[in-house]
Amino acid sequence: MRAGRDDNLAAPGVASPIGFAELADVLAWGGDAAATVAQLKHSYVDCLSYCLGRKLGELHASNSDIASQVLAALDETSETDLVQALLLPTTSRRLVTPLHDLDDVVRHLLDVLPNPPHPESRPGYLGYLLDVVPVYAEPCDAKLEGVRVRIGRLLDQVRLQCGPSLPYLQAVMRELHLHMNPSQDGFFSNSPQGLVGCAILTNPHLDLVDDVVLIEAVVHEATHGFVGMSEAVGLSGVNPTAIWLLDDQPYDGVSRVASPWTGRNLDIPTYLHACFVWWGLLHFWSDMAGGGIFDESRVRSRILRAATGFLGQGLVRELLPYREIVQPTLLECLSDLGRQVDEVLSGSGLSEIITTKGRR
């Protein structure tokens, strides 16, 4: 079990995190989602500041001279630049996860403080998405620039059907990377472990990547960044109610559960992310239905695919062998999502089809 953390008190000066049910509410794309996202971001920044202080304490104990250099850089950093530096995916990974040693953390901090790198100065910079999300290409290629423009055009259309999705993407995406990999025939997207808000699309220029596949990948990976903020607050230990898993063992990368959407074996943290990602996609495509932006048969197929994993409480059944280490409020939230699926589908014309299919 997690050790060295108070079971009752949050760290002083750290904002209270949002609950798991509130994460799900945001991904229903209704209500005051922007306020909830802003609250989570505030908690996340507080969490990163807390983790920075903890790292500085470790550094002072091991090398007070180097610690003084980092503190001097911090003294020269404005509050705005400090927040920008903390929110860099490469910073958050070093502060929250155990994936980097202390020397590497120090080198990184001295690189980004007191002046965090401007997005336009980084290799492969293409431009911005939604005016705030920097996009990078590897290699720099006109086809990838075309993908960036295409995503922007699609999002302009999406705004008309699902208005809350755009400010959501602006708030939770830190950077988007577009890669070409000639050695691979297909398209895939991912959000690397610990790089909260960093999304990678590989081979998005291929002809097989239609508008539905492309926009789903963007929303999918952005949502990993959204729930990744919540998970990071839990991992930091600043508030026991925010902890996703009560034991660190599931972070060993071992696959223990099967995805009810793809059938692939997943480690438990990735599985928990997927539950929220598919919940968001279910609502997103439900909002897109009938809008004429995307091919309707493709939209219906995405609704069906997203909903299937929630039927019959299948996603909770996978976690039952590990229920003692999953935060009880998180497990209850996931159970609630399964109970809400019929209601979500009632206006789509797919409810009877999919519930019959799921109960066979």
Domain boundary, last residue among 88, 119, 150:
119
Report the candidate in 245, 298, 291, 242 with the shortest Cα–Cα distance to residue 268: 245
pLDDT tens readout for residues 257-281: 999 998 999 999 999 999 999 999 9
User: Is 31 within the bounds of a domain?
Assistant: yes
Query: Is position 9 within any domain?
Result: no
Exposure letters 211-246 (e unless 16+ CB within 10 A, then b): bbebbbbbbbbbbbbbbbbbbbbbbbbbbbebbbbb
In a domain, 273, yes or no: yes
Question: Whose structure tokens read 């009560």?
Answer: 246
Whether residue 329 is contained in a domain is answered as yes
pTM: 0.91
Which of 102, 119, 136 is the last residue before a domain boundary? 119
> What is the Cα Rg of the chain in Å?
21
Domain extent for 314: 244-360
Residue that finishes a domain, picked among 58, 85, 119: 119
Specify the number of domains making up the chain: 2
Nearest to 178 by CA among 207, 205, 210: 205
pLDDT of residue 349: 57
Q: Mean pLDDT, 10 residues at a time, over the chain (360 residues)?
A: 39 69 92 88 95 96 96 97 97 95 97 96 96 96 96 95 92 97 94 96 97 97 97 90 92 93 94 96 93 93 92 86 94 91 67 42
Residue 9: predicted pLDDT: 43
Residue 201 lies in a domain: no
In a domain, 136, yes or no: no
Asked if 29 and 162 touch (Cβ cutoff 8 Å), the reply is yes
- The answer to whether residue 215 sits within a structural domain is no
